[in-house]
Amino acid sequence: MTGVVAALVVVVLLLSVLVAGLLRSHATILRRLHELGADHHPDPGVPVPDRAVPRTDGRIPSPRSDLPDGRPAVDVAGTGPGGEAIGVRVVDVAHDTVLVFLSSGCSVCTGFWAELADPRLPDGTRLVVVTRGPKEESPSAVRELAPPGVTVIMSTPAWQDLAVPGSPFVTLVDGPSGRIVGEGTAASWNQVRDLYLRAEGDAPTGGKAGADRRRERELDRLLLASGLAPGDHSLYAPADGEDAGRDGPIR
Amino acid sequence: MLLSAHGVSFTIPAGWEGEISQERGPQALALAERGAHLRPVAHAATFALPAERGAFGSGAVEAMRDDDVFLALVEYDRGATDTALFARRGLPRRLDPRRFHPAALQRTLPGQAGHQEFFTDTGRAFCLYVVLGDADDAHLQVRRVEEVLAGIRIGSGP
């Protein structure tokens, strides 16, 4: 009996050492994860960044945290269907650009060409149609399909630089950052626009949200140029009725 | 960004975009049907150029903000090189900000100022037309225009 008890005590002691070792190992792992910034429960009161930003050891600058996700876009240069030389600035501009990659031969593109005559994009968003270059597309066919009032550029390098897989394909570029914030395809332009308009509500930059932000900045600039600084009393006009009678009632 | 067509080439600096084409307005097309040649027109701007616009920027200058600049280079008939209007030789690379004036605008818009220079280069007659978005900032904006002018090359023609 004594032998059995002694054996159990030894087993319990061994298990206790094993559990203690596991707890110590677990604590070490958690500490390392904490040092790497992988907290599941950040301290309350500590500001949480909007998006994960790679950390550096301090010897090189950290990446900008205000850039939207997405790979960099490039400016588009090529020829127009009428033989024009065209260069369109897409990167580092105030407006967003929707690049619609189409061809004259694809059946799905036919609907796009027609629908783009009335693209109904948000203010502050530019539409540019890009086909492959004149060696791969017929300029006269593109000229016939080109919707009036829409910039059309024939440029195979643009397809290659922006890794366009085929037509139709749509790429949305956030102008200020020069990043591609949305891309894909659909059966019709209206579907693309619906997807785009829905996505832009989720995105912190670009699209309608970006346009709204730019309009706000422009209004701020105009107000400041007019001598109206934040807090100016003229920005806080009395509510309706309080000042009634100053200029007489309007009847 | 290098653009080249119709015997004109532009090296477009950062912050600018451009197009070199032929005038395709109704009047120009009607004349072309009677044998006249379509005039080469080059545009450069610091803003998004609309697809449809006039040779001297109508339809585009309305979209300019205060800090924007528009430049047009419009070719005239070869016969015009002998006239007094085009007596100046060579594309002007430097411009005098004091010569920009709202009265020189093809389309008068508040705050803007314009300037025209007629010249002959490589046996071709041209008009250089520049619109500044802010007449009060002419000195700075003209320097930006000169960056584009430095990158324009005019050949003997198409």
pLDDT over 60 (residue A250): no
> B158 near B40, Cβ under 8 Å?
yes
pLDDT-derived band of residue A129, with 50, 70 and 90 as boundaries?
very high
Would you say residue B139 has pLDDT above 70?
A: yes
Q: Model ipTM?
A: 0.89
For residue A149, what is the domain's CATH number?
3.40.30.10
Domain ranges, residue B86: 2-154
Nearest to B51 among A87, A151, A218 (CB): A151
Q: Give the count of beta carbons closer than 10 Å to the beta carbon of residue A143.
A: 14
Whether A244 is covered by a domain: the verdict is no
Q: Length of chain A, please? A: 251
β-strand pairing of B152-154 with B8-11: antiparallel
Residues A178-197 have pLDDT tens digits of 999 888 888 888 888 887 65
Instruction: Give per-residue pLDDT as tens, B43-59.
Output: 999 999 999 999 999 99
Residue at A47 is within a domain: no
> Per the domain annotation, does A103 fall within a domain?
yes
Domain that holds residue A180: 76-215
pLDDT of residue A172: 92
Task: Provide the token pair at B121.
Answer: 């280069």
Burial of B28 (0-12, 13-18, 19+ CB in 10 A): middle
Percent pLDDT > 90 in chain B is: 76
Give the span between the Cα atoms of A83 and B9, in whole angstroms.
14
Least confident of A4-8, A99-103, A245-249, B100-104: A245-249
- CA gap A223, A214 in Å, rounded: 14
CB B121 within 8 A of CB B89: yes
Residue A6 lies in a domain: no
| Residue A203 or residue A6, greater confidence | A6
Q: Is the pLDDT of residue A2 over 60?
A: yes
Q: Considering the domain boundaries, does residue A108 fall inside one?
A: yes
| H helix or E strand, kind and range, residue A191 | helix A189-202
Interface test with A, best of B2, B49, B67, B153 (most A CBs within 10 A): B49
pLDDT tens digits, residue range A210-236? Answer: 556 656 766 776 777 777 777 777 777
Tell me which H or E stretch contains B114.
Answer: strand B113-121
Mean residue pLDDT of chain A comes to: 79
A113/A103 Cα distance (integer angstroms): 9
Q: Which pLDDT does position B81 carry in this prediction? A: 86
How many structural domains comprise chain B? Answer: 1
Facing B3 at nearest CB: one of A85, A95, A218: A85
pLDDT the model gives residue B79: 83
Q: What percent of chain B has pLDDT over 70?
A: 99
pLDDT at B97 over 60: yes
Task: Please check whether residue A101 is in contact with residue A164, taking contact to mean a CB–CB distance below 8 angstroms.
Answer: yes
For residue A174, the distance in angstroms to the closest alpha carbon of chain B comes to 14
Tell me what pLDDT residue A246 has.
Answer: 44
Contact B53/B129 with Cβ under 8 angstroms?
Answer: no
B contacts of A81 (beta carbons < 8 Å):
none
B11 neighbors B42 (Cβ within 8 angstroms): no
Is A245 within a domain? Answer: no
Split into its structural domains, chain A has a count of 1
Say yes or no to pLDDT of A242 above 80: no
A75, A82, A95: residue with CB nearest B48: A95
